[in-house]
Every structure is written in C-alpha cells, then in structure tokens.
Amino acid sequence: MSILGTRVVRTEDPKLLDTGGVYIDDLREPLLAGAAHVTYVRSPIAHARITGIDVDEARRAPGVVAVFTGADVDLAPLPPGNGIGDGPPAAMTRPFLATDVVRHVGEPVAVVITDDRHRGEDAAELVVVDYEPLPAVVDLDDALRGDTLLFPEAGTNLTGTAGEPFDEHLFDDCEVVVTRTIVNQRVAPAPLEVRGAACGWGGEGRLTMWLSTQNVQSCRDTVQQALGLADGQVRIITPDVGGGFGAKIGVDPDAVLLGWLSRRVERPLRWVETRSENMVAMTHGRGQRQTVTIGGRRDGTVLAYRLEVLQDVGAYPCDAAFLPKLTMLMTSGAYAFPKVESAARAVLTTTTPISAYRGAGRPEATAAVERAMDLFAAEAGVDPAEVRRRNYIRPEAFPFTTPSGATYDTGEYAKALDTVLDAAGYRGLREEQARRRADGSPVQLGLGLSSYVEITAPNNAAGEYGRVEVRPDGSVDVLTGSSPHGQGLATSFAMLVADLLGVPLERITVRHGDTDLVPTGNGTMGSRSLQLGGAAVHQAGTEVVEQARRLAADLLEAAEADLELDTGRGVWQVRGTAGPMLSWAEVAQRAAPDGGLAADVLFAEESPTFPFGTHLAVVEVDTETGKVRLVRHITVDDAGRVLNPVTFEGQRHGGIAQGAAQALLERMAYDADGNPVTANLMDYAFITAGELPSFELLEMETPTGLNPLGVKGIGEAGTIGATPAVQNAVVDALAGLGVRHIDMPATPERVWAAIVDAKGERS
C-alpha cells in the first residue's frame, strides 16, 4: 500500500513542540561569537527633507561600537523592480539609508551598532535628525494628480500602466449593468517571527549570512550584487523561519546592509527588529482600489466584465508594482465571460512599500469578480449560486484559455459549487434567512459564495532543484531548493521518497536553505513547492531506483528486467523467487566507488497549474450593533491529487482564517499625514480561534497532467476563496435592509454605519 494519500503526522513538529525551533535570535554559531547588535533609526515622518543628522552624542553613548548614516554608505541604491507596462522609472531607486528625503514612516535614516541590543535602543534615541516636512501623499487620487511627487526627477508618481484603452461599446448588448468601486485594503503580513539576519566574514573574505527568508538562492544573488562581491563570496543559510506569507521572499535592504556594516566594524552582527518596526518597515500586502463593471441578461447570463485596478505601491516600487499583472491575468476567474477587459495603474504613496502577500495579486482578482457576481445577481434578481452556475467554464472546455491569456489546465467548477451547496443545506439556509427577514429579527443571516480559480507556480519555467542520495548505511538524504516556513515540506518530500524506495520516513533526511549545500533553487512562494520541488524530488528518486536496479542486477547476476523492488521491506530481489535479497545499504555500498547512488534533477513545468474551489460563508449580523459572527464556513479546495491530508488541511485552515480575517478585521490604516494608526498589535486586529467556527472541509481531487504527481498548489487557496465569501455573506445578511455593499474590513462600526445609511436612503 502506498503511503501517498494517507494521513501522516508531520515529522517537523516534535522538535518545534519539544526543544523549539532555532530562529535568528537563537543562533549561537562560532562565526557569530562576539556579535554586536544592529539598531536602525527610523523616520517618524512620512515625507520630509533631511536637513541634518547629528550622531555625536550617540557615538559617545555606553556600549556603542559605531554609528552610520546614509552619507557613510558607499553602496549604490537598489534599482526599482519589475512593474506593469514599461515599469517604474529608473529614478525610483531605494537607498539603504535615506540621505536627502524620507518617503514613509519607518524608513531607516541611520544605524547604531552596540555591544548589546538594549543599549542600541537607548543610543538610537540620541541620534538627532532635522526634518523639513513635505506634503504627505496617502490618498490614491492625490498620488495620481502628482501635485506632490515622491521622486521629482521621475516627473510622476506612476510606476506603470497597462490595459487601456477600453472598448466603449463593451456593454451595449446588456440588459443589466452594474458598476461599483471596491477596496481591497492594505494589510500587514505580521509573521510570528519578525525580520532578522546575522552575519560574519570568514578568513577567506567570504560572507556568511543567516537570514529569515523564503528563498536563500535569490537572496545570495541580491547580496552579492549589492555588495559588489563575486560569485561564491556569499553563503546564505536559513534556520527555522517563523512565517513569511510572501513578505520574506527576498532580502530586505535592512538585511543586505548588515554585510557592509560587518565589514566596516570588523565584527559579526545580528539584527532582529521589534514588532513595532515590523508593522511599519516590513512590506505590506494587497492595497488595491478596484472598479468593477459587469453586464448581462436578466436571466443571470453575464455578457461582459471590466476590471480597473489602482494599485497602491507605497514609497518604493517593490513587487506591488508588478502584482496588478497577476490580477489582470486572473480577471475573469472561473467564468466563461464572452467579453473581458482589464486595466491597471500602479502609483507611489508616502507609506510603507507593498509587496507579495499570501496570494500576491490573485486574491485581489477573485475578490473583484466574486463581489461583481453578487452585485450582478442582486440587480438581475437571480440567486447568486445560479448566476455562478450559468457562467462557469464547462469541464469539456479544458484546457481553457481565458481572454486575458491564462490557460487553465483542469477544472470542475459546477461540481465544486454543488458539493458545497449540498453539504451546507443551502436551500434550508435560504429559508431560514427568509424567516428572519420576515420576522424583522435583529440578528440577520447572510450567505456568501466565492468560486475561485488561481494560478500556482506562476514562475514554472524557472523550475526547482531536487536531489536524492542513498547513503552507504541505507539512509537517504534529500536536498531541495524549496524553502519551507511552516508548510511541512520535510514530511511531504520524505513521503515521496519513502513511497518510491521503501525506506522508512525516519531514515530520510530532507535538507534545504543553505546555498553551499543547495546552490541552485528558487525557494517557496506562489504555492509552487510540491508541484515543482516535490516533482523534482520524485523524479530524482525515480532515477535512483533505476540506477539501483542496474547495480542490483550486477550483484545478483540477474537481468534487470527480472528484478523487483519490494517497497514494503525496502529490498531488491529477483521476481518470483525466495532467493537472495539486497538492502539499500548493500546497493549503495556497491555504488560508492563510482560516485555514490544519487540523482540531481531540475524540474520545470511547461505551464502553471490552476487550482479551484468554492467557499460558502454563513454569518450572523447583529443589526443593532453591527457585530458580525462567522458561524459556518464550508469549502471545496481542489488542488489536484492530495499527497498528505494532514498538511493539505493545515494549509486550508490557515488560509481560510487569514482570508476571513481580512474580510472582518485587518486593515493597515494611515491618517492624512501618512502616520500609521494601526502600527502595533494593540490597534491592528488579528483573528483568533474564538472568532472562527470549525471549518467544514470537503474533499475533491481533479489531477493535473502538468507534473508526474498530478498535484497543484494549496498554500494560498484558502486565502483567495475565503475573503470574498465572508464579505459577500455580510452584505447578503443586510440586503433585506437595503445595503448593497460594504468595503472590507466589515468591522462593527462599518456595518452599523451601512445600516444607518441604508435606512436614511429608504426614508
């Protein structure tokens, strides 16, 4: 019996639950002996000209090793990243330490190095920075007008545009047309472990850096390039990582600068930010204002759909300048709309930069189209479930290329919807909703649907590295370029090898996150790990089996075709005989003189995969207080073949919770002067188990043919499906009162205000 598809408890967890993980703050490496601590001095002002920095008193403070400002740093500023259209202007560079202008609260302007962390906090307060305030630019319309430019030399706040002009006749044939501007608000990733790094220079002039990251190989390349080092001069190691959610894909300038600082003071250094720093200095997520226009017939058939995206980039063009491209790619979601248009603009504001965050552009597309479907259903007078069913891409149409150019591999969208509706008792829920509306109950019931399709492994062509090696003692080493930060990849990859070789899980070691050990790789993001990293490990294991077959045939003096591997016992033998058997150790010992029993693979898919699903959220809304309670959440999340239901369900649980949190609670807010007003965990709301029901997770598997495992990504699916389902449920609960839309997060204050406004409109 194959281990694949069975419930295997994660092998990573005993250490995490017993001795605990080893994070940046826990490192006690020899190279870090005597490490000094780095503290950044950060701007308290959103936009200002720096007219002077006085560090003399800080340099004289107890325990201070050195103090640096931007004038001391001889590194070239970081160039802007990729974007939409022609991309960001070249002038939009990012300094390691601000020199002339600060562009957001939290931007570093100086750095203090001390013998211990607490003295660093004291000394940082002694750095005196003179600021000449400039107008803040927080509102997106203000940013577009360009009265105040973050980079005057660029002549614009735009970092890119794409998609226009539109067809002015797109909706001419429609009986029903609805337009609505909606907000997909800025959120903070806020991983349990904040950002951190430690580094030291070896005797050969080589930099070793420990970094909390999702991708050691790209971080190595960035550090080498930024510091002007040759290939091989930088080694990046990632210890345990306490969450990333996309915000740790790359290496932040704050960490890159550590290498330069360490060389200057000739000491190893350690930097771990505070939670307050994390909230304003780590990149944020989402941050789109979307205008949807949807039109069709009164029977619920959609004929045309348009999406206009205005992306808040923040102060510097990070990945947010590119993310609208993914939003535009996934514009039409799970639907076969005959006519589709999308366009996007990305614009700078004097706020923390925005980058990838769980789903990275795809949740924004789903939120837009699923909100649009409910708006259209309400206007046409057709049940939201029926509107979706009438417009789905049919199973026989796959592979299906959308108007925006995405080619979906497989899908059973109507089946997913019906599975969820049947399990939820949808008709009964609608009847209960009607009763409460008729009775005028103060607690109204709302049902919210969301059908999604997402792209996973969008950087499929880059592929992923995997290596499988059988050691002379019969144990197995697995190397992967994937870099887990909570997903349980060690268990999953070990299961793949155990299934192929018949070696027990406890004899398999999965290694990752060290550029000396695994110099090639592309890390963990975009739900790519199993379908690329896992497929690479699977292929490497398959090649090892074939190598072993040849060696075993030689040792047993038999034909290769007559040999079989008994995976139940992990031994080679001649098929149909009770004769001699060879263990993996014996075969590996035979291979040792010839370089060992191992295979290296770089696996790439010919195109990405497209998981899909349907979520149904059931909420109760207290119309007297605005309080929302999520009482049920029923989902199908189809990511192809399921390797381990334990890790699969874990990813769904985390994603649904995160998506519901955005719909109900989370919002990174700024005042008109660019000051963050949710910059700590007292003000920034997180969801807890107390606000969540037990999720009802339904099973459905539609394998893909794009990789040998038949798997798609699951890491972001829950986040993508849950957010619009919960938002739609809140609006649906109040539809009987005349409420047509509520922007996220649906806090009690916003819900109550929407009820009051609707009553005012009716009166």
Residues 593 and 680 occupy one common structural domain:
no
Nearest Cα neighbor of 173 from 359, 391, 339 is 339
Say yes or no: 497 and 529 in one domain. Answer: yes
Task: Write out pLDDT tens, residues 180-189.
Answer: 999 999 999 9
Share of the chain above pLDDT 90, in %: 97
Long-range contacts of 88-94 (CB under 8 A, 24+ apart): 88/159, 88/160, 88/317, 88/321, 89/151, 89/154, 89/155, 89/156, 89/159, 91/151, 91/153, 91/154, 92/150, 92/151, 92/154, 92/159, 92/316, 92/317, 92/348, 94/253, 94/316
SS3 content of the chain, % helix, strand, coil (to 5): 35, 25, 40
Tell me which amino acid residue 361 is. G
Same-domain status, 629 and 729: yes
CA atoms lying within 13 Å on the CB side of residue 277: 16
Are residues 494 and 420 located together in one domain of the fold?
Answer: no
pLDDT band of residue 577 (cuts 50, 70, 90) is: confident
Give me the sign of the Cα torsion angle 630, 636, 639, 642: positive
What's the total number of domains in the chain? 2
Mean pLDDT check: name the lowest of 9-18, 40-49, 435-444, 663-672.
9-18
- pLDDT band, very low/low/confident/very high, at 499 (cuts 50, 70, 90): very high
Average pLDDT over residues 87-94: 97
443 located within any domain: yes
Coil/strand/helix, residue 551: helix
Task: Reply yes or no: is the peptide bond before residue 165 cis, omega within 30 of 0.
Answer: yes
pLDDT in tens, 505-522: 999 999 999 999 999 999
Q: Rounded to whole angstroms, how far apart are CA atoms 88 and 107?
A: 20
Confirm if 65 and 265 have CB atoms less than 8 A apart. Answer: yes
Give yes or no for a contact between 502 and 464, defined as CB atoms under 8 angstroms apart: no
d(CA 751, CA 744): 10
Whether residues 539 and 634 fall in one domain? no
pLDDT in tens, 18-61: 999 999 999 999 999 999 999 999 999 999 999 999 999 999 99
Give dist(CA 202, CA 216) in Å, integer. 19
Which helix (H) or strand (E) covers residue 113, if one does? strand 108-114
- Same structural domain, 620 and 758: yes
Residue 474 is assigned to a structural domain of this protein: yes
d(CA 317, CA 734): 39
Q: pLDDT tens, 178-226?
A: 999 999 999 999 999 999 999 999 988 999 999 999 999 999 999 999 9
CATH code for the domain in which residue 729 is found: 3.30.365.10
Pick the last residue of a domain from 583, 603, 623: 603
Question: Does residue 56 lie within any of the structural domains?
Answer: no
What is the extent of the structural domain holding 518? Answer: 460-603
If asked whether residues 596 and 741 sit together in one domain, one would say no
Write down the mean pLDDT value for the chain.
97
Burial tier of 435 (Cβ tally within 10 Å: 0-12, 13-18, 19+): exposed
> What burial class does residue 762 get, using C-beta atoms within 10 Å of its C-beta: 0-12 exposed, 13-18 middle, 19+ buried?
exposed
The verdict on 648 and 509 lying in the same domain is: no
Within this chain, do residues 571 and 427 fall inside the same structural domain, yes or no?
no
Average pLDDT rounded to a whole number, residues 435-456: 98
* Predicted pLDDT at 582: 96
464: Cβ contacts below 8 Å, ≥ 6 apart:
480, 481, 482, 521, 522, 528, 529, 532, 533, 535, 536, 602, 603, 604
Phi-psi region of 286 (alpha: psi -120 to 50; beta: other; left: phi over 0): left
**Is residue 164 assigned to a domain?**
no
pLDDT band at 740 (very low <50, low <70, confident <90, very high): very high
**Paired tokens of 607:** 């195109």
Same domain (yes/no): 594, 619: no
Residue 759 has pLDDT above 90, yes or no: no
Q: Is 518 in a helix, a strand, or coil?
A: coil
Q: Is residue 678 included in any domain, yes or no?
A: yes
Helical (H) or strand (E) element with 613:
strand 612-622
Q: Are residues 760 and 733 in the same domain?
A: yes
**pLDDT value at position 763?**
58
Average pLDDT over residues 713-718: 96
What's the pLDDT tens digit per position in 225-240?
Answer: 999 999 999 999 999 9
Q: How confident is the model at residue 673 (pLDDT cuts 50, 70, 90)?
A: very high
- Work out whether the CA dihedral 702, 704, 708, 713 comes out positive or negative: negative
**How does 550-574 read in b/e, with b if 16+ C-beta sit within 10 Å?**
ebbbeebebeeeebebebeebbbbb
Whether 313 and 349 have beta carbons less than 8 Å apart is answered as yes
394-402 long-range contacts, Cβ below 8 Å, gap at least 24?
A: 394/336, 397/336, 400/336, 402/331, 402/332, 402/340
pLDDT per residue as tens digits for the range 462-472: 999 999 999 99
What is the sign, positive or negative, of the torsion defined by CA atoms of 60, 64, 66, 69? negative
Which pLDDT score is estimated for 762?
Answer: 62
Question: Which 8-state DSSP code applies to residue 560?
Answer: G
How does strand 64-69 pair with strand 108-114?
A: antiparallel
- pTM exceeds 0.85 for this model: yes
Rounded Cα gap, residues 192 and 641, in angstroms:
30
Q: For 125-271, where are the alpha helices, taking DSSP H only?
A: 140-145, 216-227, 253-265
Token pair listed for 540: 């490497």
Residue 182 has phi, psi (to 5 degrees) of -130, 160
Q: Given this model, what pLDDT does residue 700 score?
A: 98
pLDDT tops 80 at residue 527: yes
pLDDT at 667: 98
**Residue 592 belongs to a domain:** yes
